[in-house]
């Protein structure tokens, strides 16, 4: 539709993009910070940090909500956060933490400018749902871990309950657009088993609070094989 030489469709599209930019830069970061501070999630962060040691990389660092939970001996860490707004919010928490954090802007599904086997531990908390290529991310995580290194994670994902899974698939259309690219229906177990990482521990459960479509949780540890380790896989590597 045109009016007096003005392309109204183009104008509407421009304002739509402007509105989404305002939402992504000013509203969504605050919503995520508020939602991710829930006490039910604090318990999961504590579980993750009990297993952290050595040289640490955190993927999906966000605004740095995990910082207070790191063990006292972890004074330095590397952190991947591709979102500029979230990195800026994280700087305030980093300054208060007393820790040295090297922030990396490149997403984990892209090859990092880091050498193979750089880390003893890689941490992910509620991050895999937003990564555009989780298989590529796990390939990079495998590369960056030392032999015997651990990928420690807590993620939400696909529920085994059919009714919940249907709602997850339905709601994902909304959360992808308004929830920072979140996929509620990702099968974290299957994604991990298709990677080169070996699952050492995996727990699946619903969080005590929150909508069930977003509360089904995968929590565990996957490892980079140790030197000389013999492994028998159920499924072939991709």
Least confident of 16-25, 28-37, 94-103, 131-140: 16-25
Nearest residue to 104 (alpha-carbon basis) of 125, 86, 129: 86
**Measured between alpha carbons, how far is residue 4 from residues 7, 9, 13, 161, 167 in Å?**
9, 13, 18, 55, 46
Judge whether residue 55 has pLDDT over 90: yes
Same domain, 125 and 185: yes
pTM: 0.86
**Does 230 reside within a domain?**
no
Please check whether residues 26 and 58 belong to one and the same domain: no
Claim to verify: residue 5 and residue 119 sit in the same structural domain:
no
228 part of a folded domain:
no
pLDDT at 234: 56
Residue 92 Cα distances to 65, 89, 101, 160, 189, angstroms? 11, 6, 12, 39, 34
The reply to whether 124 and 30 lie within a common domain is no
Q: Is residue 232 part of a domain?
A: no
* Residue 133 included in any domain: yes
Residues 30 and 117 in one domain: no
One domain for residues 16 and 78: no
Please report whether residue 18 resides in a domain.
yes
Shared-domain flag, residues 100 and 149: yes
Domain that holds residue 185: 39-223
Q: How confident is the model at residue 29 (pLDDT cuts 50, 70, 90)?
A: confident
Structural domains of the chain, count: 2
Instruction: Let me know whether 186 and 75 are in one domain.
Output: yes
Statement: residue 228 has pLDDT above 90? no
Same domain, 83 and 109: yes
CATH number of residue 61's parent domain: 3.40.50.150
Q: Residue 73: pLDDT above 80? A: yes
115 and 192, same structural domain? yes
């Amino acid at each position: 539709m045109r009016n007096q030489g003005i392309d109204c469709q183009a104008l509407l599209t421009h304002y739509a993009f402007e509105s989404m930019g305002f939402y992504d830069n000013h509203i969504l970061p605050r919503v995520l910070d508020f939602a991710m501070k829930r006490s039910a999630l604090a318990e999961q962060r504590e579980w993750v940090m009990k297993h952290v040691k050595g040289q640490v990389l955190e993927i999906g660092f966000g605004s740095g909500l995990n910082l207070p939970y790191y063990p006292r001996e972890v004074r330095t860490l590397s952190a991947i956060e591709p979102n500029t707004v979230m990195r800026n919010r994280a700087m305030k928490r980093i300054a208060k933490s007393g820790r040295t954090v090297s922030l990396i802007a490149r997403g984990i599904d892209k090859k990092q400018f880091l050498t193979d086997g750089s880390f003893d531990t890689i941490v992910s908390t509620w991050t895999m749902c937003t990564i555009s290529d989780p298989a590529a991310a796990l390939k990079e995580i495998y590369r960056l871990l030392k032999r015997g290194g651990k990928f420690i994670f807590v993620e939400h994902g696909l529920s085994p309950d059919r009714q919940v899974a249907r709602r997850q698939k339905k709601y994902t259309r909304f959360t992808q657009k308004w929830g920072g690219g979140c996929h509620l229906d990702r099968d974290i177990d299957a994604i991990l088993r298709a990677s080169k990482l070996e699952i050492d521990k995996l727990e699946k459960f619903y969080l005590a609070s929150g909508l069930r479509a977003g509360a089904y949780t995968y929590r565990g540890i996957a490892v980079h094989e140790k030197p000389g380790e013999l492994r028998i896989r159920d499924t072939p590597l991709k």
